[in-house]
Amino acid sequence: MRYLILSFLLIVNTVDAQQSYIDYRSPFHPVVSSEGMVVSQSYLSSDIGIEILNKGGNAVDAAVAVGFSLAITLPRAGNIGGGGFMLVYLKEQEEIFFIDYRGKSPLNSNIKDLFNTNLPKDYKKTDFNKSRFGYKASTVPGTVAGLIDAHTNFGKLPLSQVLEPVIKQAEEGIIVSYDLSKAIESSKQLLKDPESKSIYFKDGKPLQENSLMKRPDLANTLRLIAKNGTKGFYEGETARKFIEAMEDNNGFMVKKDLKDYKINSGAPIVSLYRGNPVFTAGPPSGGGVVLLTALNILGKYKFNKADSNSTRTYHLLAESLRRGHNNRSHHVGDPNFYDVPIDQLISKERTNELQKNLKFKSATPSDNVKPLSVVNESRDTTHYSIIDSDGNAVSNTYTLGYSFGSGVTIPGTGVLMNNQMNNFAYRYGDTSIVGRAASPANKFSPGKRPMSTMAPTMVFNKKGQLILITGSPGGSFIPAAVLRVVSGVIDFDLNIGEATMLPRIHKDWPYAGLDYESTLSSDISNQLEYMGHQPERQKTMGSTQSIHIIDGINYGYADLRRPNAGVSRQR
């Protein structure tokens, strides 16, 4: 009998062992590693980041390589002709830095020459496409300055070594994916620019799937940057080509704009969420304000771990996001031009003011969400997250604006330009509207950085240990995507795959509607409609690229909402 019992126990233990391995907790499996990890919207660029880590580089070296590589592998969003925001965490020093390399409007730009109308008076007569496409649509690009500044201050390897595999990638080319071919096909502005047309089209048709796309001009531009740093881009041969093209096409940019471009650096903004410090981008980012405002409000409510898909949770997400977008719609802009009251915007007093009329049974009318007393955005941005084996980390979000930006490629450089001139509040002074298009903080001025919703984010635990690196593209949907991931990890104890794939909603201000993804159940959308949220089915929202750190182990997950993203890890 004793042997029968022992045999039975052995069988049971064997079955349990098999079940614990085979019966996975979730269908969304993170990539696991105790070494370095890169998560980006292109697996080809993620692999280059790991190549740099394997050569002895740190997270910042890898981030610089990935940032330049995405201009090749994801040209509709990855760029050196745009701008963005970066968070850098140095584990040994226990310090976190914020780098603002957002583009800024050229010094000789003006509303009259841009639109040929008087705004806001002649709003109905204005062709806003002039701020979206062509040579006058671009701010002075900041990406090169931002990436090189990060490398200069925090990198380990020589810049030439960091850019070597990127230059090789541009020279040898990449195989065009189905997604890239279709993105080119849908971006009609590329056809209007001869240089862009010569790169992205062949015989009048978009580059086809499985064709080879080489970028020799871009490789030469990268070579100059590798040799001369920022001067290789903002001065010399590349700058000369920029200015010649601007002069030939009545653009705003002049030599001084390029030579004088500077990044802004300092500390990110931060708030506690259930005792966990959440760091994100400050002004001119409005996305960070939305995220922290929403977290401040959500923090006043308790969630059960089983409530990640409850109607109550979606209602609170919607109400907190609406108030967050209200908070950024008037007093967030370039801090060099406007005294942004950031401490007030994310204060306990402001949180209490915003929360006091939140009701559980109905949506709050936009008129009841008041601005602090004192534009439509593109979704085609990209984000990547990186950690190295020493625990240093980077969270970076950057953009061209629209998919393929302004459509303009500067001849002889391979540099595709942004259309961030579109992001100013050109209706400032128009008393008939209350939304962001009339924001006093984001009104247009020459030399100014436009507001953005990019929100690269890092979360630490109560012991001060880094536990989450995340961020997303998505225009005004960015805060909703990041909020859902942060809440999923902290409130519902989900793995990073599960948190990433939770259905997302978006609630803006002052608009009545609530956007939701198709994966949200019809029962919940019907209940939200009954509550007055006016739900509208949307396409997917964002594409978070995240790393969750648990007990020294990195769990990476590339959002399935957009193709070709990937997690690469050191082995």
Q: Are 246 and 107 in contact (CB under 8 A)?
A: no
| Upper half-sphere CA count for residue 476 (Cβ side, 13 Å) | 21
Burial call 273-299: b when 16+ CB within 10 Å, e when fewer? beebbbbbbbbbbbbbbbbbbbbbbbb
User: How distant, in Å, are the alpha carbons of 123, 337, 420 from that of 118?
Assistant: 8, 22, 20
The rounded distance, in Å, linking the Cα atoms of 172 and 215 is 8
In contact, 426 and 437? CB cutoff 8 Å = yes
- Give CA–CA dist 539/537, Å, rounded: 7
Calculate the alpha carbon distances from 427 to 128, 245, 337, 424, 442 in Å. 11, 30, 17, 9, 10
Sign of the dihedral defined by the CA atoms of residues 17, 18, 24, 29, in that order: positive
Helix 348-355 to helix 311-328 angle (10° resolution) is 120
Query: What token pair was written down for 356?
Result: 């006091």
Separation of alpha carbons 492 and 208, rounded Å = 43
- Calculate the alpha carbon distances from 406 to 48, 189, 418, 508 in Å: 27, 7, 5, 26
**What is the DSSP secondary structure assignment for residue 420, as one 8-state letter?**
G
Closest to 563 (Cα-Cα) out of 44, 28, 20, 3: 44
Closest-CA residue to 397 (of 288, 520, 242, 264): 288
Contact between 372 and 345 (Cβ < 8 Å): yes
Bridge partners of 535, per DSSP, are 514
Is 381 a residue of the active site? yes
- Candidates 23, 17, 258, 54; CA nearest to 138 is 258
CA angle 304, 462, 27 (to 5 degrees): 45
Give the C-alpha separation, 521 to 443, whole Å: 40
Kindly name the residue from 73, 139, 313, 381 that is annotated as catalytic: 381
Overall residue count recorded for the chain in this entry: 571
Q: Give strand ranges (E) for 182-319.
A: 201-202, 205-206, 212-213, 264-266, 269-273, 276-280
115: tokens are 């639109």
Distances (CA, A) of 102 to 252, 399, 418, 424, 472: 17, 9, 11, 13, 16
Q: Which residues are catalytic?
A: 381
